[in-house]
A and B are shown apart, each in its own frame.
Chain A
């Protein structure tokens, strides 16, 4: 039996080794967990670097189950960046809650490993294993504060809805296998292009769409999102809002463009309909939230709505531009949303008891902690889509692609909803800069240490993508074109 070529999974191997090392190192440490953090960070950086070094490669391994190409590498680097930011913002936050344990980092690395497999999978089996690795690690991370009621409840809700979604996806996959007799994306795509069993295939497609819709929180499958984000540890909530979403979209893009290519007309309509509904639900519910974590949860649902509009544009026109725009948007979104959650994590470490993520807690922040207020404003501007920030570039390219696909009305709806979203994003700034807090706070410490590095990285990402987008635009263009040449 020949030895398989492991080149396509070198980054994943590094990550798996790092995650196991974290578990090995952890029992030898007493209270100071710096070594664990260092191992996790090194692992993530090595993973990102290994992925980056493979740039330009295009090969498949393990019976064409896993590929390494610019598309997979784009997502790997993005996940590495999200992972580094999450790890950096965690130590202080976990110490403030007396739950600084090594398992946290191991679970985080395993979740990223699952996401990485999901983005690189070219076979339904690899896809399902990646999806579950990501999901099971996420359930545990959501419930990591197991002595807190909210965290418990968040984990249970995430677990039950997530399991149901996985099971539905699995059933859909089993039907796809039944109609085609293959699990490889390319083979399934060819078999489905034959065009028999249209009703059954439509049912299977609907099941897979619903399952993945749960994962990336498409309305009406979004019910778990606000509860989970509110109850989960804040850095983890930030990670959930970017990581699994990016991985989910990486898989959705591949699934629907490679596997269900034959039924493109049907799913285009479905994506557009769900896009409008998701934008509506996300933005309207975000308007009435007074808890910032819940507001960011609904806003993340709204962002999923914009991304679905991009999916509709791909289906409508087959245009490359929309696919590139989705990748670009996901990258921009990763930095700005994680940054916003990072600021919240910082505020929680300053007042572990009194700060409860409400708008009123933000009052007078500009006076107490000007840097936190400035960074939060930057991330809020970016989420709104103000020019000069990453959010603007993302929205500009995405809506432009939607217009190019002759869906001007859809782009108009998306722009109107973006204008609505300005209300709830900028309201945070009104509280920070123009409201005085009712209680007196004893001066907290300035942002420092790893948390500062994490926020600086997020802010740098937002400004870099916002001001010099050319490099990332090129990167997402190559990545997506490369992916089409499946």
Chain B
């Protein structure tokens, strides 16, 4: 149990670090996915701890996975559209709105 929680905490740290430091849109998307999976792992672990027969947490993890899939689909579509316009996926270079 502790091991799983430490692992999920590590995933959370890695995801946050990735979001804060990386500048490539696809890497950012992957970092966010890592973050969401940290949460999903938590749900499954806690489900086993609290109510092995009810599985609320496991259902929540499934819901989380399907929503992450939607986000990835929308995100990749956006990134594709941007790559066609800008020729880059570097978010530092996509910066026309300021003031």
Say whether A52 faces chain B, with CB atoms less than 8 Å apart. Answer: no
Please name all residues of chain B whose beta carbon is closer than 8 Å to the beta carbon of A174 when the two chains form the complex.
Answer: 39-40, 42-43, 46, 60
CA distance A227 to B97 in the complex (A): 6
Please name all residues of chain B whose beta carbon is closer than 8 Å to the beta carbon of A227 when the two chains form the complex.
Answer: 97-98
Contact A132 B70 (CB under 8 A): yes
Say whether A152 faces chain B, with CB atoms less than 8 Å apart. Answer: yes
Residue of A154, A156, A173, A181 near B25 (CB, 8 A) is A156
Interface size class on chain A is 35 or more
Q: Chain B interface: which of A73-81, A160-168, A440-448?
A: A160-168
Say whether A431 faces chain B, with CB atoms less than 8 Å apart. Answer: no
Contact A152 B60 (CB under 8 A): no
Q: Write the nearest CB–CB distance from A96 to chain B, whole angstroms.
A: 21
Please name all residues of chain B whose beta carbon is closer than 8 Å to the beta carbon of A157 when the two chains form the complex.
Answer: 91, 97
B14-68 contacts to A, CB under 8 A, are 15, 19, 25, 28-29, 32, 35-36, 38-40, 42-43, 45-46, 49-51, 56-57, 59-60, 63-64, 67
Q: Write the nearest CB–CB distance from A121 to chain B, whole angstroms.
A: 13
B70-99 contacts to A, CB under 8 A, are 70-71, 74-75, 78-79, 81-82, 85-86, 91, 94-99
Count chain B CB atoms within 10 A of each CB in A143, A152, A289 and give the residue with the most: A152
Contact A156 B82 (CB under 8 A): yes
CA distance A166 to B19 in the complex (A): 13
Q: Write the nearest CB–CB distance from A94 to chain B, whole angstroms.
A: 18
Find the B residue at minimum CB distance from A129.
B63
Contact B32 A156 (CB under 8 A): no
A83-140 contacts to B, CB under 8 A, are 124-125, 128-129, 132, 136, 139-140
Contact A125 B97 (CB under 8 A): no
Contact B71 A136 (CB under 8 A): yes
Count chain B CB atoms within 10 A of each CB in A125, A156, A157, A166 and give the residue with the most: A156
Say whether A255 faces chain B, with CB atoms less than 8 Å apart. Answer: no
Find the B residue at minimum CB distance from A155.
B78
Say whether A397 faces chain B, with CB atoms less than 8 Å apart. Answer: no
Q: Write the nearest CB–CB distance from B58 to chain A, whole angstroms.
A: 11
Say whether A171 faces chain B, with CB atoms less than 8 Å apart. Answer: yes
Please name all residues of chain A whose beta carbon is closer than 8 Å to the beta carbon of B71 when the two chains form the complex.
Answer: 132, 136, 163, 166
Contact B39 A230 (CB under 8 A): no
Please name all residues of chain A whose beta carbon is closer than 8 Å to the beta carbon of B60 when the two chains form the complex.
Answer: 124-125, 128, 174, 177, 183
Q: Write the nearest CB–CB distance from A242 to chain B, whole angstroms.
A: 21
Please name all residues of chain A whose beta carbon is closer than 8 Å to the beta carbon of B42 when the two chains form the complex.
Answer: 171, 174-175, 177-178
CA distance A155 to B25 in the complex (A): 12
Beyond A167-B36, A171-B35, A177-B57, list 5 extra A-B contacts (CB 8 Å). A150-B97, A163-B75, A164-B35, A168-B35, A177-B42
For the complex of A and B, 7 pairs with smallest distance between CB atoms: A181-B50, A174-B42, A167-B35, A178-B46, A227-B97, A170-B39, A171-B39
